[in-house]
A and B are shown apart, each in its own frame.
Chain A
Amino acid sequence: MTRMLLTGNGAAAWGARLAGIEYLPAFPITPQTEIIETIAKWIDFGELDCRMTTLDSEHSMITAAGGAAVTGVRVFTATSSQGLLYAMEMLYTTAGWRAPFVLVNVSRGLASPITLEPDHNDILAARDSGFLQLHCATCQEVLDGILLAYRMAEDGRVRLPVIVNLDGFYLSFTREPVEVPAAAAVARFLPPFDAQNLGFRAGAPLSEAVAVLGGSPYSYFRYQHHLAALNAEAVFEESAVAFARCFGRSYQAVEAYRCDDAELVFVMLGSFATKAKAAVDCLREAGQAVGLLRPLLLRPFPAAALRRALAGKQGVAVIDQNLSPGKGGVLYTELASALYGQADSNPMLVSFIGGLGGRDISAEEFYEMAAVTRRAAAEGQAPEPRLLYAEAELCEIKKWQAIAQVQRAKEGQP
């Protein structure tokens, strides 16, 4: 085992390398490209025995990934943002094939307007695709998450593709110390892919995608897919125990930080959650009992674990780094559905939207979210969802709009 500085993209490449991937269909997109470049170099230098194919689009790339996975080889691929959306049809299709492979998504906000910086609307657009989802918060988790993802994907009780998500910039281009396990240790944790009855061959034609007419058989296949996804939580827990035994790092479907005696809890996804940890430490120093819950597993949704961890809490600040226009935060909605109608008295839920397009969340904003949530819990009334957006930011926009107005007037436009 070596401890070295790696970017999130570097950690993703190492995860794939240690998993012994055999096939890599690829298409570039910022901020993901570094992952396939790194692996391509290893293949070039003979350090990794893997077949890499560049495709004409992400749509073809996911088709190739699914097609290769059902031949029984270990497949890895990666994309981001617009690329994930372009592949969307084939995400649903290959998940429906029950093709087990791992796709890394490097989160980046979606057009329009276009940006390079991260939020979670891309990965959440794939929420209902039937892929399982792991949301990483550190570079270490990216490497470890890929190894855990293959265990889940290839397990006979699951057999589904998995997306491992990491945030652009905040992880993709950020170096942190990462423990890179020895290949032999990984081989013990993750033996070669046991393809069971997967054996798609050109010489032995079969169809992975039966056509069904009528809702009855369709319901059967779709619900089987759902049950397999639900099974993945137990498989994840088992795999995490094995992982801790092999490597000494333990993971839970929901990470809890200083939660046991907390009155208030932040709930959020991804790398911004480590910023919440820093805020929790400072709030604790100021005598406030605040903690953090972070779902590492988003699909399957660890509802029971969240319910357990939030039982008896006064207030919960759900911080969504995404926005469903016309509704609000996706994680808030999901958490509310997990808590509603339970016998236990439920905590006050307050919804915040922050970090859209990589917009930073300051320490002061975390403190203020805790204060707002505490007030709401005391008053028994949740405020309207709050966008984290400051006066100075609006002033900047107003300045640009004024310039645009002058420009329009000059051009004689309305």
Chain B
Amino acid sequence: MYRIRFHGRGGQGMKTASRILGTAFFNEGFEVQDAPRYGAERRGAPIFAYVRAARRAIYERGVIRHPDLVIVADETLVAMPAAAVLQGVDAHCVVLIHSREPAPVWQHRLNLAGPVVILPLAEEREDRLALRQIGTACAAAAARLVGVVAWTALEQALRDELAALGDALVEANLGPARRVYDFLSPQQGCVAPGPVVAAEGYVRPDWVELAFEDARVSAPAIHAALTSEQVQTGQWRTLRPVIDCARCKGCWWVCSTFCPDGAIQVDESGRPRIDYAHCKGCMVCAAQCPHHAIEAIPEQDAPPAEDERGAK
């Protein structure tokens, strides 16, 4: 059985990637299971999706513990513990990272025993538009690396899964998908289906006896105010709103009023300031600013924000 995990941020198309790959496997006659894993509020937050494919009925379910291939669409997730990108990665597992840095750097940095494949991140600012197709590119990469999905099966899957979004979008995605599929042809088939965990000589689970604890400790209460401030939702941001002070007219603070997260405050001098530790990069402020004084900068091109408190 092939077990493949896609890691990205909400909005980068990881669910779509898993569906394209799932359908492509299905088109090749495989039994398939694909699923995203997300919570209540996810745009920009780390999410993952996974695909299982086999020649017989699939009985495994849920999160993949021992992946054969891990695809990382956004390299900034690797350092984020909550993203758990490397969970279960061993010498057998291939890791594909969408990055500017070469494979040996990642291999060394993450102390990986298995192969690392790089999907190069576009250098040019204009090419960043290609990020919109990162989901389909990741699906194409996975299809090539497993080596059992022909381009025709992948193309049909891509057309089927994106059909509802219109012909123009399908065509816009086919090109990048094909380029990635061709680019990775030297690595075709480097991912091998992994074994099942054998029932002989298995590692016994270290179950514990859960002892009683006083309700002052064991009730699911939150004992302090404003604890949500501790959650650095600024890490979810892929685009950063930056205020151009020269253009800001200090209006009646449209941006701070419209900010759905209360992440824009007006300081003593009457100027808006963005709390980058909590701004999720929704860009509502940029859309609302009457004087177009808020610019959207891709997070990877922006310098570390001063009040991110070590988030980046």
What distance in Å separates the Cβ of B85 from its nearest Cβ neighbour in chain A?
18
Q: How many residues of B contact A (CB 8 A)?
A: 39
Is residue B186 contacting chain A, with contact meaning CB distance below 8 A?
Answer: no
Q: In the complex, are the beta carbons of B217 and A175 less than 8 A apart?
A: no
What distance in Å separates the Cβ of A177 from its nearest Cβ neighbour in chain B?
6
Q: How many residues of A contact B (CB 8 A)?
A: 51
Given contacts A169-B37, A390-B207, A407-B227, contact A278 B202 (CB under 8 A): no
Given contacts A175-B19, A364-B197, contact A389 B208 (CB under 8 A): yes
Q: In the complex, are the beta carbons of A173 and B36 less than 8 A apart?
A: yes
What distance in Å separates the Cβ of A47 from its nearest Cβ neighbour in chain B?
15
Given contacts A175-B33, A175-B34, A176-B32, contact A364 B205 (CB under 8 A): yes
Partner of A388, one of B196, B200, B205: B205
Q: In the complex, are the beta carbons of B200 and A362 less than 8 A apart?
A: no
Q: In the complex, are the beta carbons of B199 and A389 less than 8 A apart?
A: no
Chain A residue numbers with a CB within 8 Å of B200 are 286
Alpha-carbon separation in the docked complex, A107 to B223 (Å) = 30
Chain B residue numbers with a CB within 8 Å of A386 are 207
Interchain Cβ contacts within 8 Å, total number: 116
Chain B residue numbers with a CB within 8 Å of A286 are 198-200
Q: In the complex, are the beta carbons of A394 and B37 less than 8 A apart?
A: no
Partner of B205, one of A279, A362, A404, A407: A362
Chain A residue numbers with a CB within 8 Å of B198 are 282, 285-286
Given contacts A175-B35, A363-B197, contact A388 B59 (CB under 8 A): no
Q: Which 5 A-B pairs have the closest CB atoms?
A: A278-B59, A113-B220, A174-B35, A286-B199, A282-B199
Q: Give B contacts to A, CB under 8 Å.
A: 19, 22-23, 26, 31-37, 39-40, 58-63, 65, 196-200, 202-208, 210, 216-217, 220, 223-224, 227
Given contacts A174-B33, A271-B61, A275-B59, 16 further A-B contacts (CB under 8 A): A5-B22, A5-B23, A5-B32, A116-B39, A174-B34, A175-B35, A279-B199, A282-B196, A282-B197, A282-B198, A286-B199, A362-B65, A362-B205, A364-B203, A410-B224, A411-B223
23 residue pairs from A and B, CB less than 8 Å apart: A5-B19, A30-B40, A169-B35, A170-B61, A173-B36, A175-B35, A176-B58, A271-B61, A274-B60, A277-B59, A282-B197, A285-B198, A358-B62, A360-B62, A360-B63, A364-B204, A367-B202, A386-B207, A389-B207, A394-B210, A401-B217, A410-B224, A411-B223
